[in-house]
């Protein structure tokens, strides 16, 4: 007892609190998602959570770690929710389970468990599944989908087929197709279709994105995340989109569209702010966020996949330790001097 070192008291803060607060910040987004897009997202969240906790328990058992302590830390739950929210909502249950188990077992525990993983588990799950199951991973529910909650669940559990009339490409995908088929149809004309594209970036989706933004602001207010990475991401994505849009508005969508389309806001506030796989120094976070924004735009508009957040984040995860090492802030008394 005598060797327990100072400080001898501390406030009630914990990893669990951080993780669960982050989960709570996702709730508005989930609510809008379920209300405006697909209620079955709730089923997917349940499937992912169960798979994540099972995978986590298995790995903890095998690694001889205290189950009670780590299983309740909330990190697996957060990973599961991010996976469910980034996968197509009507994808079959086994796809979500595969992605989740890959995230927990390979991306997280084989790298050393909580705090040791190099890559963001949710983004790894997305990247692996989109490479392995490209067709399934690009079937998004068509706008204005008329299907009951029960029918949606039947699709998820493979009891009824996913018809082409129900599923389609995302707005981002449609834009890329338009860009590649130069000149057939301009972006402004495409976006005219309010039925599909809503006011900004996809009917319904823009509201989901806004809800994520709201959750992100809540995290900022609770000091769970800092402003650096999200702001850098948004600024760099918007700046690049704005530049190309200004250059040729008939082929490129507006910055606002890009900010509210796809995984931009969930990525900005819930993925690149992941402390374990991101940068920790303030300047590092700025660089990290900015480059993710840049890569995201490039992959979205010129790459082979509809959205680029996952790949951009994974690429930058590799670079994060280097960025951190190069952006060490000066210590007390050494400001303005060479270290």
Partner 1 sequence: MLAAIAIMALIAVFLGAVLGYASIRFKVEGDPLVDKIDALLPQTQCGQCGYPGCRPYAEAIAKGEADINLCPPGGEEGVAKLADLLGREAKPLDAEERPPQVARIDENICIGCTLCIQACPVDAIVGAAKQMHTVVASVCTGCELCLPSCPVECISMQPIPESIDTWKWKYPVVQLQEATRKAA
Partner 2 sequence: MMSKLKSDRPLYRFNGGVHPPGYKEQSTREPIAIAPLPQRLIVPLHQSIGGTPRPLVKPGDRVLKGQLIGAADGWISSTVHAPTSGIVRDIALHVQPHPSGLSALSVLIDVDGKEEWSERNPPDYASLTPDDIRRLIQQAGIVGLGGAVFPTHGKLTPSAKFPMEDLVINGGECEPYMTCDDMIMRERAEGIVRGAAIFRDLMQPKRVMIAIEDNKPEAIAAMRAAVQAVGEPFEVVPVPTLYPAGCAKQLIRVLTGKEVPVSRRSTDLGAQCFNVATAYSAWRAVCFGEPMISRVVTLTGNVGRAHNVEALFGTPIEELIALAEPKPDTDGILVGGPMMGFLAPDTAAPIVKSTNCLIAHSPDLFPPRAPEMPCIRCGECARVCPQDLQPYELYRFARARNFGKAQEYHLFDCIECGSCAYVCSSHIPLVHYFLFAKSEIWAREREKKAADQARDRFQAKQKREEREKAEKAEKLAKAAAAQAAKKAAEAANLGALDPEAAKKAAIAAAQERAQAQRAAAQPKNTEALTAGQQQEIAEIDARRAQAGVDHPESSS
Write out the residues near partner 2 by the rule CB under 8 A: 1-11, 13-15, 17-18, 66, 69-70, 73, 75, 113-116, 223, 226, 275-276, 280-281, 324, 328-335
Distance CA 165, CA 155 (A): 13
Q: Shortest Cβ distance from residue 8 to partner 2 (Å)? A: 4
Out of 7, 66, 183, 336, the only residue in the binding site for partner 1 (CB under 8 A) is: 66
- Closer to partner 1 by Cβ: residue 11 or 68: 68
User: Token pair 């249950």 is at which residue?
Assistant: 93
Q: How far is the CB of 66 from partner 1 (least distance, A)?
A: 5
| Residue 183, contacted partner among partner 1, partner 2, none, CB below 5-8 A by kind | none
Question: Can you read off the two tokens belonging to residue 191?
Answer: 């976006």
Query: Contact between 63 and partner 1 (CB under 8 A)?
Result: no
114 interface partner picked from partner 1, partner 2, none, CB below 5 to 8 A per type: partner 2
Nearer to partner 2, 66 or 144 (CB): 66
CB 124 within 8 A of CB 315: no
CB of 274 to partner 2, least distance (A): 9
Q: Does 7 participate in binding partner 1 (rule CB under 8 A)? A: no
Task: Work out what residue 144 binds among partner 2, partner 1, none; the CB cut-off runs from 5 to 8 Å by kind.
Answer: none
Note whether 183 binds partner 1 by CB under 8 A.
Answer: no
Q: Which is nearer to partner 2, 113 or 186 (CB)?
A: 113
Decide: is 6 part of the binding site for partner 1 (CB under 8 A).
Answer: no
Indicate which single residue of 46, 62, 69, 322 sits in contact with partner 1 (rule: CB under 8 A): 69
CB 176, min distance to partner 2, A: 35
With CB under 5 to 8 Å by kind, the binding choice for 119 among partner 1, partner 2, none is none
Is the separation of the CB atoms in 201 and 171 below 8 Å? yes
CA atoms within 13 A of residue 177's CA, in its CB half-sphere: 8
Q: Which does 180 bind (CB under 5 to 8 A by kind): partner 2, partner 1, none?
A: none
Phi, psi (5° rounding) for residue 167? -105, 155
The entry of partner 2, partner 1, none that residue 275 binds, CB within 5 to 8 Å by partner kind: partner 2
Cβ contacts of 63 within 8 Å, gap of 6 or more: 109, 113
Question: Which of the choices partner 2, partner 1, none does residue 31 contact, using the CB cut-off of 5 to 8 A by kind?
Answer: none
For partner 1, the closer CB: 3 or 135:
3
Secondary structure, 3-state, the chain: CCCCCCCCCCCCCCHHHHHHHHHHHHHHHHHHHHHHHCCCHHHHHHHHHHHHHHHHHHHHHHHCCCHHHHHCCCHHHHHHHHHHHHCCCCCCHHHHHHHHHHHHHHHHHHHCCCCCCCCCHHHHHHHHHHHHCCCHHHCEECCCCCCCHHHHHHHHCCCCCCCCCCEECCHHHHHHHHHHCCCCCCHHHHHHCHHHHCCCCCCCHHHHHHHHHHHHHHHHHCCCCCCHHHHHHHHHHHHHHHHHHHHCCCCCCCHHHHHHCCCHHHHHHHHCCCCCCCCCCHHHHHHHHHHHHHHHHHHHHHCCCCCCHHHHHHHHHHHHHHHHHHCCCCCCCCCCCCC
Select from partner 1, partner 2, none the partner in contact with residue 6, using the beta carbon and a kind-dependent cut-off of 5 to 8 Å.
Answer: partner 2
**Contact call for residue 68 and partner 1 (CB under 8 A):** yes
Minimum CB–partner distance for residue 217 and partner 2 (Å): 19
The span of 1-9, 84-92, 166-174, 269-277 binding partner 1 (CB under 8 A) equals 1-9
Least Å from the CB of residue 126 to partner 2 = 21
Residues of this chain that interact with partner 1 (CB under 8 A) are: 3-5, 66, 68-69
């Amino acid at each position: 007892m005598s060797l327990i070192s100072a400080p001898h008291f501390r406030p009630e803060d914990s990893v669990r609190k951080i993780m669960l607060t982050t989960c709570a910040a996702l709730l508005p987004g989930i609510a809008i998602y379920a209300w405006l897009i697909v209620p079955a997202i709730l089923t997917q969240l349940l499937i992912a959570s169960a798979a994540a906790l099972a995978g986590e328990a298995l790995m903890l058992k095998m690694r001889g770690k205290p189950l009670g302590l780590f299983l309740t830390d909330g990190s697996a739950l957060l990973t599961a929710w991010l996976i469910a929210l980034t996968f197509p909502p009507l994808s079959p249950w086994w796809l979500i389970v595969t992605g989740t188990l890959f995230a927990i077992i390979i991306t997280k525990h084989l790298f050393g468990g909580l705090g040791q993983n190099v890559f963001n588990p949710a983004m790894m799950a997305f990247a692996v599944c989109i490479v392995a199951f490209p067709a399934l991973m690009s079937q998004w529910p068509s706008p204005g989908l008329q299907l009951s909650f029960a029918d949606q669940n039947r699709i998820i559990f493979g009891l009824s087929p996913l018809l082409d009339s129900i599923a389609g490409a995302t707005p981002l995908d449609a834009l890329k197709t338009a860009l590649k088929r130069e000149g057939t149809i301009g972006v402004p004309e495409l976006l005219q279709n309010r039925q599909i594209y809503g006011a900004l970036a996809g009917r319904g989706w823009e509201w989901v994105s806004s809800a994520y933004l709201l959750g992100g602001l809540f995290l900022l207010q609770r000091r769970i995340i800092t402003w650096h990475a999200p702001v850098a991401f948004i600024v760099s994505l918007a700046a690049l989109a704005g530049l190309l849009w200004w250059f040729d508005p008939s082929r490129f969508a507006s910055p606002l569209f890009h900010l509210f389309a796809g995984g931009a806001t969930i990525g900005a506030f819930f993925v690149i702010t992941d402390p374990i796989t991101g940068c920790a120094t303030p300047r590092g976070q700025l660089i990290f966020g900015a480059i993710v924004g840049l890569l995201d735009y490039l992959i979205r508009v010129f790459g082979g996949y509809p959205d680029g957040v996952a790949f951009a984040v994974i690429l930058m995860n590799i670079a994060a330790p280097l960025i951190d090492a190069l952006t060490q802030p000066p210590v007390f008394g050494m400001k303005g001097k060479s270290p």
